[in-house]
Structure 1
Amino acid sequence: MNLFTIAAQGAQAAQNQLSVSAGNIANQQTAGYSRQAITQTSSVVSNLGNGVKTSDASRITDQTLNQALWHTQSAVGYYQSLNSWGTSLEKVISSSTTQPSTLLTSFFNSVSALTTQPDSTAYRQQLISSATSLANGLSQTSQNLADQQTSIGQQQQSTLVQVNQLSSQIADLNQQISRLGAGAESNSLQDQRDQQVKTLSGLIAISVEKSDTGSYTLTTQGATLVAGNQAAVISSSTDTEGNVQLQSRMGQTSSTLSTAMGGQLGALYDYQQQVLSPLQTRVTGLMHSVSEQVNNTLASGYDLQGEQGKALFTVSTDSAGVARLATTDLTPAQLGLSLDKTTPANGGNLTTLSGLQTTSGFTEQATAITSQLALANSQSSNQLAVATAVNQQWQQQRDNLSAVNKDEEAVNLQTYLQSYQANMKVMSVGNQLFSELLTLFS
């Protein structure tokens, strides 16, 4: 009987719609989930009425929106990493015990105090103590920079491992999706793959192309990262000059990559090359300047015994290659503060020593260490804010299309339930008519 067939198809269609809507609601909080929908089309049952049939559930997505979201995700990852490492270092360097400009000011304050009583053992000892604090502070800053270099190197390797793992996982998902086809069975896998691509794009800048079979091809700097079920492996090495070399290998094909990778990994290399290493050079340079100019000034004077002044500072490099500034075992009496060896207490050399604060470039060098880092952090913070805002806009556009709207799904549930009930009513009517028809022939 056509009435039963039409109603059964209608009830089944409504039930399918209810199942899809229920699945959407269940996955409302699932990261990367794209809501699903099915379409209904009329099916001819007889010349007296049409039934209905439904398609497989399909994902509601827009690849253009996804591409834009992934692109901006790389920018967010890049500036987030830059800002995180930079602000962490700035907090350490700006500490009162390690800030170069503060330590230099304290040292020259001790020099100024001696001008009132050049032969004072207490004031001379205070100068040596300030010199020791300066040396310790600069050495600690040097160590902090070296420690961050080590941490950066470890993070680079860790991020490379993540990149390779994600690439491999995306290749595996490509294979599964291609095997299942673009039907409902692969919807969950496609969501997983898009989420993996989003995570990967936060680590490095990538380009994504989707084939007719639904497989993704990923490239970075023109080199293929993922193609079908194959994934490249990126490795790093260091040349004799300490420069990082990156290589991508897929099968027998290898490509040399620039460290300008974008994303978090690119930020690690850029921060290391453009911020951290120059800071190390500045700190080491300041150590040598302080040591050479202060020592030369003291050597031009005489101590309390009328002997030529001795060195106060020494610069060395430890076994790990970290520059160190230290004070010698100079006693207060051995400071060469006099310009007349017959009058050891005249303190004439203090004027020259004190003048180093303005003539030596110490202050400029010390200020440049903190200001360079502060400027870099300010720039990365501003750029992060812009990148985040743009990324959020694309995320919102993607969510407007693909994310689950609980209010919309609630309305859908009510609509499909009413449709199901109406079709069941039709079946009930059909059953009643059939019973009455049987009665006529009984």
Structure 2
Amino acid sequence: MGSSFGSINTALTSLYAQRRGLDVTGQNIANANTEGYTRQRVDMQASVGSVVPVRWATTDGLGTGVEINDVQRLRDQYLENRGRTEHGNNSYLTNQAAAYNSLEDVFAEPGDTALQAQIHDMWAAWGDVGDEPNSTAARSALVQQSKVVSDNINSAYGAMDAQWSANSSQLTKYATEVNTTAGTIAQLNDSIVKAKATGVVVNELEDRRDSAVLHLSELTGATAQLRKNGSMDVFVGNSLLVNYNTTRQMSATGGVATMDAQRDYNDGLLPPGSKPAGLTWTDNGDTVQAGGTMGSMVDTMTSILPDMAAKLDKVAKSMVDIVNTATNAAYKSDGTAGGDFFVGDFTTGRYARNMRVGITNPSDIAVSGKNETNADGTPKLDPVSGLPVGTNDGSVANTLASTAKLPTSPDVSYQSMIADLGVNAQTATRRSEIQANVTDQVDAAREAESGVNLDEEMTNLLTYQRGYEAASRVLTTIDSMLDQLINRTGLVGR
């Protein structure tokens, strides 16, 4: 049978257990508003005496109190993995929507001061010159309006180039942040494995690690897998980023450095072995297949911005070719042959970046369809200057004024470009909104599982308090019994 003094130990184990429960509950309450904190719960189990029959055993088989089996961290690993996936998808789509919204801000269509309206005004200015070919005011207005159009096209291309460069700079900073975070996870892995081997509770360290992994998921679409020893491997794409306490480094350098170079890469114009903008592993130079914010930035730099720049170049080239072809075949007011109206370095095909109005003197605009001729068909010469005399009929200007109505006009190309941009932007925004709702739902499920509920914690607080008080009462009762046994037994008859 059990010893009388054994009951003291039974009550004492309860005091220890209830106090531990109070400590853990207090920790939960203290961190109710701490981001990334996971609520904890004390796992108690009954202590037992000898359960194996022994010949000379004196135990009666009753338990010997309570013991703390573990302090559990209440997280659902499935929900955590799902949360990382959804956060990565949400970050990707959010960045995509932001990229398209920035492009919409560049063109600001529709609007009275947007490029479409300015191109319309330019064709109207050609019509004014056609109606009054000798009007210096009309010619000056045409030059100014054409400069507005070319400047706006230059500005739009420059804005996309600046957006590309901003993405490139930010991608480099994010790569450094990923490398730093991966190093933190590796250090936490090492601490967690060593602490668990000695039986130390590491719930707070695991919270910090999960928060770091979630941050990597948002940046790169990273996924994670737990090992039996408590460490966590982190993957980006199908490649290991963190393996226990070792990490791989990634870099955003080594590829093309400008948007124009990226366009040349897309068109196959760069030397073999050239690499596009993006992320690479520093140990072997392989491309990092990232998702999340960084994956979206790479897609923006390699696809969205270069494609929009190419479409704008198509619009600018169409405008330059149509106007210059007409003015080169026309004659100036003094009867001399016309020349290019738009000029620039077009050898690289970058019309939108380089086009500008080459006319400085309004009288140099060639709008006449033909020169006056003598009866024998020879050009009629001005008796003073000796130059051919032009009819100055403005027919070329009138022809250019009707360009907007042609199916091959730059207006049609520009409208198609803006329509595609609007559709893509709207699609990206809707997908982002839907994904945000999905992410919120998953986060709500994660919070329900691992978040601190103050009402529940107050209930636990009272439960452990009452348990502690009851264990104290048991200990007091046993003390009174032992006092009776030790100090009062055997006094009768003395």
Pair in the same fold by TM > 0.5:
yes
CA distance in 2, matches of 1:245, 1:79: 18
Question: Is 1:243 the equivalent of 2:276?
Answer: yes
Written as runs of structure 1 = structure 2, the 5 A alignment for 1:208-287 is 208-235=224-251, 236-238=253-255, 240=271, 241=274, 243-244=276-277, 246-249=279-282, 254=284, 256-258=286-288, 260-287=289-316
Question: Is 1:339 the equivalent of 2:369?
Answer: yes
- Note if contact 1:291-1:315 (Cα within 8 Å) is conserved in structure 2: no
Q: CA offsets per residue over residues 147-202 of structure 1, 9 Å max, x none?
A: 11111111221121122112221111111111111755321111111111100011
- Note if contact 1:311-1:330 (Cα within 8 Å) is conserved in structure 2: no
CA distance in 2, matches of 1:414, 1:43: 23
Question: Is 1:328 the equivalent of 2:361?
Answer: no
Label 1:371 to 1:390 Cα distance change in 2 as closer, same or farther (>3 A).
Answer: same
Q: Read off the aligned partner of 2:393 and give its amino acid letter.
A: N
- Equivalent residue number for residue 107 of structure 2: 93
CA distance in 2, matches of 1:417, 1:143: 69
Measure how far apart 1:83 and its partner are: 1.5
Measure how far apart 1:282 and its partner are: 1.8
Label 1:350 to 1:255 Cα distance change in 2 as closer, same or farther (>3 A).
Answer: closer
- Equivalent residue number for residue 31 of structure 2: 27
Q: Read off the aligned partner of 2:104 and give its amino acid letter.
A: E
- Note if contact 1:11-1:424 (Cα within 8 Å) is conserved in structure 2: yes
CA distance in 2, matches of 1:21, 1:242: 55
- Equivalent residue number for residue 159 of structure 1: 174
- Note if contact 2:130-2:396 (Cα within 8 Å) is conserved in structure 1: no
Measure how far apart 1:141 and its partner are: 0.8
The total of aligned residue pairs comes to 437
| Deviates most, 6-15 or 61-70 | 6-15
Q: Read off the aligned partner of 1:287 and give its amino acid letter.
A: A
Report the identity percentage. 22
Query: Of 346, 358, 364, which aligns to 2:412?
Result: 364
> Any unmatched runs of 5+ in structure 2?
50-58, 257-270, 373-389
Measure how far apart 1:368 and its partner are: 3.3
CA distance in 2, matches of 1:279, 1:395: 36
Measure how far apart 1:262 and its partner are: 1.1
Label 1:103 to 1:318 Cα distance change in 2 as closer, same or farther (>3 A).
Answer: farther
| Higher alpha-carbon Rg | 2
| Deviates most, 216-225 or 137-146 | 216-225
- Equivalent residue number for residue 216 of structure 2: 200
Q: CA offsets per residue over residues 359-393 of structure 1, 9 Å max, x none?
A: 24201222233333322222221121222222222
After TM superposition, what 4+ stretches of structure 1 lie above 6 angstroms from structure 2?
none
Question: Is 1:125 the equivalent of 2:140?
Answer: yes
Q: Read off the aligned partner of 2:107 and give its amino acid letter.
A: I
- Note if contact 1:303-1:344 (Cα within 8 Å) is conserved in structure 2: no
Measure how far apart 1:299 and its partner are: 2.2
Written as runs of structure 1 = structure 2, the 5 A alignment for 1:29-428 is 29-44=33-48, 47=60, 50-94=64-108, 99-181=114-196, 183-235=199-251, 236-238=253-255, 240=271, 241=274, 243-244=276-277, 246-249=279-282, 254=284, 256-258=286-288, 260-316=289-345, 323-342=353-372, 344-359=391-406, 360-428=408-476
- Note if contact 1:43-1:51 (Cα within 8 Å) is conserved in structure 2: yes
Q: Read off the aligned partner of 1:367 and give its amino acid letter.
A: Q
Measure how far apart 1:107 and its partner are: 0.7
Q: Read off the aligned partner of 2:300 and give its amino acid letter.
A: Y
> Could you tell me the TM-score, scaled by structure 1's length?
0.91
- Note if contact 2:319-2:409 (Cα within 8 Å) is conserved in structure 1: no
CA distance in 2, matches of 1:168, 1:97: 53
> Could you tell me the TM-score, scaled by structure 2's length?
0.82
- Note if contact 1:160-1:234 (Cα within 8 Å) is conserved in structure 2: yes
Root mean square deviation of aligned Cα = 2.5
Label 1:160 to 1:215 Cα distance change in 2 as closer, same or farther (>3 A).
Answer: same
CA distance in 2, matches of 1:344, 1:411: 99
- Equivalent residue number for residue 379 of structure 2: none
Measure how far apart 1:440 and its partner are: 2.6
- Note if contact 1:76-1:387 (Cα within 8 Å) is conserved in structure 2: yes
Q: CA offsets per residue over residues 381-429 of structure 1, 9 Å max, x none?
A: 1121222222222212211111111111111111111111122222233
Label 1:336 to 1:170 Cα distance change in 2 as closer, same or farther (>3 A).
Answer: same
Q: Read off the aligned partner of 1:357 and give its amino acid letter.
A: A
Query: Of 1, 7, 12, which aligns to 1:8?
Result: 12
CA distance in 2, matches of 1:361, 1:163: 48
Which structure shows the bigger proportion of residues in strand conformation? 1
> Any unmatched runs of 5+ in structure 1?
none
Label 1:366 to 1:242 Cα distance change in 2 as closer, same or farther (>3 A).
Answer: farther
